[in-house]
Chains A and B, each alone.
Chain A
């Protein structure tokens, strides 16, 4: 049941990301739902699984969001995955504030690295949506998912 619920949540996140990428202009919501999958796997799984997931999610993000420059988000998501994997053992994730901060700060950091690459290579300016708005919204959504009682039970959190 837990496994089925996890797969369902992951599928919903992937479908949600597809919808967002199609309707981002109308919805004006900047979320990175794939990053929530990375956060969950980084926190709950081991080193190799984290690295593999981070690389895959990075490559997919690269394909859709890095102005034709493969490897930028691959690089930044691997760093984020590694940090999440290391840090999550050391902080109290029963505290909702820390869950939110973990998601928001790590996503902001990861996006900042990607943005830095895009700034120097493609001349893209620093994007406040990417550095602030998206991490905060994604962090809030992650917090809502994790703190809902069913998810808490089925996702093995707490």
Chain B
């Protein structure tokens, strides 16, 4: 290969490289030591890069949309008919669930302040740690704020909004990320703990006492005690239980991993829910396992 050689002494090269590396270390330390999760560099890079990415993504979506809608119209009537049928079923299910919740006086303890759900498209997934974070095409211009919760289009919890939030895009930290955690219940026996991820497709309960039996297949839902995620949203199912000294280690497979991350829903309230000082544990939890669609998506007008 043809290469260019410059007349720079090795000492000078090393000094320059060390200086650049030192600058990078300062950048890292602003994030770690100063707990500054919104650096100037991040904002600048995000502001420059995300419009290109969103533009490209929208172009690809537009082309595929045209293909889907104009070239693949075959069987569209049948699909429309099926959707109509599903819609009617959902309305009926919605009615039944509302009735069930009212019967349990469940809404008195949780006062939702819902305004709207923002639909967002995923524009980028962390290539190195795909189960750590994703970027969505909604940013501060869409009033996205830190700690807003994110669901997938099936209503399963996906994660929450974290910095950087730029004008055009924002980052979603997935519940499978090893940073952070989520307050959760085992639905069957109301056993509560902190569910944490480890950048794999399994999340784990830590420090869960072993006096109550947990079985594989049990449903796991949010508890609301972390004051970020609203309670009773489905998270996943228990896939493994290991007994340890005094505690038990419980592995949970999140539901959102069963679908590809394309479209997400951000709950846009400043305060998605208000919960009493001591989160109530109802005697009978609504069995979301029967119908995994969370009620917060359904009774939007209450």
- Could you tell me which A residues sit within 8 Å of B by CB distance? 15, 18-22, 24-26, 30-32, 43-48, 51, 55, 58-60, 62-72, 74-75, 78-79, 82, 88-89, 93-94, 111, 114, 117, 121-125, 127, 129-130, 134, 156-158
Residues of A within 8 A of B56 (CB): 15, 18
A77 to chain B, nearest CB (A): 9
Residues of B within 8 A of A111 (CB): 128
Residues of B within 8 A of A123 (CB): 178-179
- Interface size for B (C-beta < 8 A) is 57
- The contact of B128 among A45, A71, A130, by CB within 8 Å, is A130
Knowing A68-B171, A89-B3, the reply to whether A121 touches B32 (Cβ < 8 A) is yes
Chain A's closest residue to B40 (CB) is A70
Chain A's closest residue to B130 (CB) is A24
A-B contact pairs, 13 of them (CB 8 A): A18-B52, A25-B261, A26-B260, A30-B128, A44-B3, A46-B6, A55-B20, A64-B49, A64-B127, A67-B177, A71-B30, A71-B31, A78-B20
Chain A's closest residue to B14 (CB) is A82
Instruction: Name which of B4, B163, B177 has the most chain A CB atoms within 10 A of its CB.
Output: B4
Judge if B126 is at the interface, Cβ distance under 8 Å. Answer: yes
Knowing A64-B135, A70-B28, A70-B42, the reply to whether A44 touches B4 (Cβ < 8 A) is yes
Interface of A is mostly: helix
A117 and B28 within 8 A (CB) = yes
- The contact of B132 among A67, A74, A93, by CB within 8 Å, is A67
A22 and B124 within 8 A (CB) = yes
B24 and A74 within 8 A (CB) = yes
Residues of A within 8 A of B261 (CB): 25
A63 to B4, CA, bound (A): 31
B171 and A93 within 8 A (CB) = no
Chain B positions 227-259 with a Cβ under 8 Å from a chain A Cβ: none
Chain A's closest residue to B6 (CB) is A46
B129 and A75 within 8 A (CB) = no
Chain B positions 162-202 with a Cβ under 8 Å from a chain A Cβ: 162-164, 171, 173, 177-179, 198-199
A63 and B179 within 8 A (CB) = no
Residues of B within 8 A of A63 (CB): 42, 45-46, 49, 164
Judge if B37 is at the interface, Cβ distance under 8 Å. Answer: yes
B1 and A157 within 8 A (CB) = yes
- The contact of B127 among A43, A47, A65, by CB within 8 Å, is A65
Per-residue A-contact encoding for B209-234, CB less than 8 Å = 1, 0 else? 00000000000000000000000000
A130 to B52, CA, bound (A): 25
B147 to chain A, nearest CB (A): 14
A122 to B196, CA, bound (A): 13
B223 to chain A, nearest CB (A): 23
Knowing A22-B57, A72-B28, A125-B178, the reply to whether A65 touches B126 (Cβ < 8 A) is yes
Residues of B within 8 A of A68 (CB): 31, 37, 42, 133, 162-164, 171, 173
Chain B positions 97-135 with a Cβ under 8 Å from a chain A Cβ: 122-130, 132-133, 135
Judge if B8 is at the interface, Cβ distance under 8 Å. Answer: yes
Knowing A44-B3, A124-B199, the reply to whether A75 touches B127 (Cβ < 8 A) is no
Chain B's closest residue to A130 (CB) is B128
A13 to B274, CA, bound (A): 47
